[in-house]
Amino acid sequence: MVITGRTVNVLYGPTQARSARMIALDQIRYRLTDGKVGSCVVSDSDHRIRFNNPNLGSSITSEFYFDTATKTLFYDDDVSSGLSGQAVAEGPIEITFELESAGAIVKVTVKTEADLAYADVDEQDGESAVYLRNP
Protein backbone atom coordinates (compact mmCIF):
# COMPACT_ATOMS: atom_id res chain seq x y z
CA MET A 1 0.00 0.00 0.00
CA VAL A 2 2.87 2.36 0.74
CA ILE A 3 4.38 1.77 -2.69
CA THR A 4 0.99 2.32 -4.32
CA GLY A 5 0.56 5.60 -2.42
CA ARG A 6 4.00 6.81 -3.50
CA THR A 7 3.32 5.82 -7.09
CA VAL A 8 0.09 7.81 -7.07
CA ASN A 9 1.96 10.87 -5.76
CA VAL A 10 4.68 10.46 -8.37
CA LEU A 11 2.14 10.18 -11.19
CA TYR A 12 -0.56 12.61 -10.14
CA GLY A 13 1.49 15.34 -8.42
CA PRO A 14 3.11 16.63 -11.63
CA THR A 15 -0.09 15.98 -13.61
CA GLN A 16 -2.17 18.14 -11.26
CA ALA A 17 0.46 20.91 -11.36
CA ARG A 18 0.59 20.76 -15.17
CA SER A 19 -3.20 20.85 -15.35
CA ALA A 20 -3.42 23.96 -13.11
CA ARG A 21 -0.68 25.64 -15.18
CA MET A 22 -2.36 24.90 -18.51
CA ILE A 23 -5.82 25.99 -17.30
CA ALA A 24 -4.38 29.36 -16.25
CA LEU A 25 -2.44 29.80 -19.51
CA ASP A 26 -5.46 28.81 -21.61
CA GLN A 27 -7.76 31.29 -19.85
CA ILE A 28 -5.25 34.11 -20.29
CA ARG A 29 -4.49 33.35 -23.95
CA TYR A 30 -8.18 32.95 -24.80
CA ARG A 31 -9.14 36.41 -23.54
CA LEU A 32 -5.94 38.43 -23.83
CA THR A 33 -5.42 37.78 -27.56
CA ASP A 34 -8.44 40.01 -28.22
CA GLY A 35 -6.67 42.89 -26.46
CA LYS A 36 -5.79 46.07 -28.31
CA VAL A 37 -2.12 46.57 -29.10
CA GLY A 38 -0.61 49.19 -26.79
CA SER A 39 -3.52 49.17 -24.33
CA CYS A 40 -1.98 46.84 -21.72
CA VAL A 41 -0.91 48.13 -18.32
CA VAL A 42 0.88 45.80 -15.90
CA SER A 43 0.80 46.60 -12.16
CA ASP A 44 0.75 45.08 -8.64
CA SER A 45 4.23 43.51 -8.85
CA ASP A 46 3.40 42.13 -12.34
CA HIS A 47 0.35 40.19 -11.01
CA ARG A 48 -2.29 42.40 -12.67
CA ILE A 49 -2.80 43.31 -16.32
CA ARG A 50 -5.45 45.66 -17.67
CA PHE A 51 -6.24 45.89 -21.37
CA ASN A 52 -8.81 47.22 -23.79
CA ASN A 53 -10.84 44.58 -25.63
CA PRO A 54 -12.47 46.22 -28.69
CA ASN A 55 -14.76 43.19 -29.10
CA LEU A 56 -16.51 44.14 -25.84
CA GLY A 57 -16.64 47.87 -26.60
CA SER A 58 -14.29 50.69 -27.48
CA SER A 59 -14.03 52.08 -23.94
CA ILE A 60 -14.24 48.86 -21.90
CA THR A 61 -11.18 47.87 -19.87
CA SER A 62 -10.75 44.23 -18.85
CA GLU A 63 -8.24 42.77 -16.42
CA PHE A 64 -6.59 39.64 -15.09
CA TYR A 65 -5.47 39.66 -11.47
CA PHE A 66 -3.57 36.94 -9.64
CA ASP A 67 -4.19 36.85 -5.87
CA THR A 68 -1.08 35.38 -4.26
CA ALA A 69 -2.84 34.75 -0.92
CA THR A 70 -5.55 32.50 -2.36
CA LYS A 71 -3.51 31.30 -5.38
CA THR A 72 -6.39 32.25 -7.66
CA LEU A 73 -6.49 33.97 -11.06
CA PHE A 74 -9.42 36.36 -11.51
CA TYR A 75 -10.80 37.84 -14.74
CA ASP A 76 -13.01 40.92 -14.91
CA ASP A 77 -14.37 41.76 -18.37
CA ASP A 78 -15.34 45.33 -17.36
CA VAL A 79 -13.48 46.90 -14.42
CA SER A 80 -15.73 49.99 -14.48
CA SER A 81 -18.80 47.90 -13.62
CA GLY A 82 -17.83 47.86 -9.95
CA LEU A 83 -18.36 44.12 -9.74
CA SER A 84 -15.51 41.86 -8.71
CA GLY A 85 -13.99 39.51 -11.25
CA GLN A 86 -14.66 35.82 -11.50
CA ALA A 87 -12.16 33.12 -10.57
CA VAL A 88 -10.95 31.39 -13.74
CA ALA A 89 -8.03 29.29 -12.42
CA GLU A 90 -6.86 28.03 -9.05
CA GLY A 91 -3.69 26.28 -7.97
CA PRO A 92 -0.71 28.14 -9.47
CA ILE A 93 1.63 29.66 -6.89
CA GLU A 94 2.54 32.64 -9.05
CA ILE A 95 1.43 34.28 -12.31
CA THR A 96 3.26 37.27 -13.75
CA PHE A 97 2.75 39.44 -16.82
CA GLU A 98 5.46 41.30 -18.76
CA LEU A 99 5.02 43.63 -21.73
CA GLU A 100 7.30 43.16 -24.74
CA SER A 101 7.67 44.56 -28.24
CA ALA A 102 5.97 47.96 -27.81
CA GLY A 103 2.91 46.47 -26.13
CA ALA A 104 2.10 44.01 -28.93
CA ILE A 105 3.25 40.92 -27.01
CA VAL A 106 2.61 39.92 -23.40
CA LYS A 107 4.88 37.34 -21.79
CA VAL A 108 2.95 35.26 -19.24
CA THR A 109 4.73 33.09 -16.67
CA VAL A 110 2.80 30.58 -14.57
CA LYS A 111 4.54 28.77 -11.73
CA THR A 112 3.00 25.70 -10.09
CA GLU A 113 4.05 23.20 -7.46
CA ALA A 114 3.14 19.64 -6.59
CA ASP A 115 3.75 17.40 -3.58
CA LEU A 116 5.76 14.36 -4.60
CA ALA A 117 6.69 11.11 -2.91
CA TYR A 118 10.43 11.55 -3.51
CA ALA A 119 10.71 15.26 -2.65
CA ASP A 120 8.88 17.91 -0.68
CA VAL A 121 7.80 20.03 -3.64
CA ASP A 122 8.32 19.99 -7.38
CA GLU A 123 8.17 23.51 -8.85
CA GLN A 124 7.62 24.02 -12.55
CA ASP A 125 7.23 27.06 -14.76
CA GLY A 126 5.11 27.53 -17.84
CA GLU A 127 5.79 30.43 -20.16
CA SER A 128 3.80 31.71 -23.07
CA ALA A 129 3.92 34.72 -25.37
CA VAL A 130 0.48 36.17 -26.14
CA TYR A 131 0.25 38.19 -29.34
CA LEU A 132 -2.40 40.91 -29.21
CA ARG A 133 -4.35 40.84 -32.45
CA ASN A 134 -6.40 44.05 -32.41
CA PRO A 135 -4.47 47.06 -33.74
The pLDDT assigned to 126 comes to: 85
**Whether 26 contacts 123, CB under 8 Å:** no
SS3 assignment, position 20: helix
Cα–Cα dist 125/115, whole Å: 15
The pLDDT assigned to 50 comes to: 95
- pTM value is 0.83
Q: Could you tell me which of 113, 112, 120, 127 has the C-alpha nearest to residue 25?
A: 127
Question: pLDDT of 18-40, one tens digit each?
Answer: 888 899 999 999 999 999 999 99
Mean pLDDT of 1-20: 77
Question: pLDDT of 39-69, one tens digit each?
Answer: 999 999 999 999 998 888 878 999 999 999 9
Question: pLDDT of 86-110, one tens digit each?
Answer: 999 988 889 999 999 888 999 999 9
Cα–Cα dist 20/110, whole Å: 9
Is pLDDT above 60 for 117?
no
Cα–Cα dist 32/95, whole Å: 14
